[in-house]
Amino acid sequence: MRKAHALILLAAGACLLPCHQATAALDYTPQTGWTVEDSSGQNAVEASASAQLDKAQRFENAHDYHHAMIAYYALTRKFPRSGAAADSLLKAGDMAVQGGDYDMAYKLYNEYITKYPKGDDFDEALGGMYQIGQKFLAGAPRRVLGVKTFPSMVRAQQIFADIVTIAPFSKWAPLAQFYEGQAYEKQHRPDDAVSAYEQVISRYPADPAAADAQYQIGYVYLMESRTAYDKSAAEKAQDAFNDFLARYPTSEKAAQAQDNLKILQNRENTGAVQIAKYYDKKKDYKAAYIYYNEVLKEQPGTPDAKYAEVRISALKAKVGDAALEETPVKPQNGAQAAEQRNIQAQVDNASRADYLGPQVAAPTPVPTPEPPPPSAQDDDALPKPELRTSPDDMQLQPPVEPTLPSQ
Name every residue whose Cβ is closer than 8 Å to that of residue 338 and which is 6 or more positions away in sequence: none
CA-to-CA dists, residue 159 to 57, 141, 197, 298, angstroms? 29, 15, 16, 47
Q: How far is CA 397 from the centre of its chain?
A: 73
Q: Where are the beta strands (DSSP E) in 226-312?
A: none
CB 34 within 8 A of CB 25: no
Please tell me which residue, 272 or 68, carries the higher pLDDT value: 68
- Name the residue type at position 234: A
Note the pLDDT tens digit of each residue in 331-379: 555 665 555 555 445 544 544 444 444 554 555 555 655 555 554 444 4
Q: Examine the pLDDT at 88 and tell me if it is beyond 60.
A: yes
pLDDT for the residue 316: 86
Note the pLDDT tens digit of each residue in 208-222: 999 999 999 999 999
Q: Examine the pLDDT at 400 and tell me if it is beyond 80.
A: no
Instruction: Tabulate helix, strand, coil % of the chain (nearest 5).
Output: 60, 5, 35
Share of the chain above pLDDT 70, in %: 65
pLDDT for the residue 5: 33
pLDDT for the residue 127: 94
Tell me the pLDDT band of 393, cut-offs 50, 70 and 90.
Answer: very low
Q: Examine the pLDDT at 406 and tell me if it is beyond 80.
A: no
Q: What is the DSSP string of 34-46?
A: EEEE-TTSSB---
CB 251 within 8 A of CB 244: yes
pLDDT for the residue 205: 95
C-alpha span between 201 and 247 (Å, rounded): 11
Alpha helices in 79-152 (DSSP H): 85-98, 102-115, 122-137
Note the pLDDT tens digit of each residue in 221-269: 999 887 655 678 888 999 999 999 999 999 999 999 999 998 887 776 6
Note the pLDDT tens digit of each residue in 276-306: 787 888 888 888 888 888 788 877 888 888 8
Name every residue whose Cβ is closer than 8 Å to that of residue 391 and which is 6 or more positions away in sequence: none
Name every residue whose Cβ is closer than 8 Å to that of residue 58 and which is 6 or more positions away in sequence: 16, 17
Q: What is the DSSP string of 265-282?
A: HHHHHHHHHHHHHHHHHT
C-alpha span between 247 and 358 (Å, rounded): 56
Q: Is the dihedral of CA 186, 189, 190, 193 positive or negative?
A: negative
CB 84 within 8 A of CB 57: no
Q: By mean pLDDT, which of 47-51, 174-178, 323-327 is the weakest?
A: 323-327
pLDDT for the residue 341: 53
Q: By mean pLDDT, which of 96-100, 122-126, 152-156, 322-326 is the weakest?
A: 322-326
Name every residue whose Cβ is closer than 8 Å to that of residue 139 and which is 6 or more positions away in sequence: 151
Note the pLDDT tens digit of each residue in 151-209: 689 999 999 999 999 999 999 999 999 999 999 999 999 999 999 999 999 999 999 99
Please tell me which residue, 353 or 394, carries the higher pLDDT value: 353
pLDDT for the residue 376: 46
Q: How much is the pTM? A: 0.59
Q: How far is CA 354 from the centre of its chain?
A: 39
The CATH T-level fold of domain 1-99 is 1.25.40
Tell me the pLDDT band of 36, cut-offs 50, 70 and 90.
Answer: low
Query: What does the domain layout of the chain look like in residue ranges?
Result: 1-99, 105-187, 189-251, 270-326
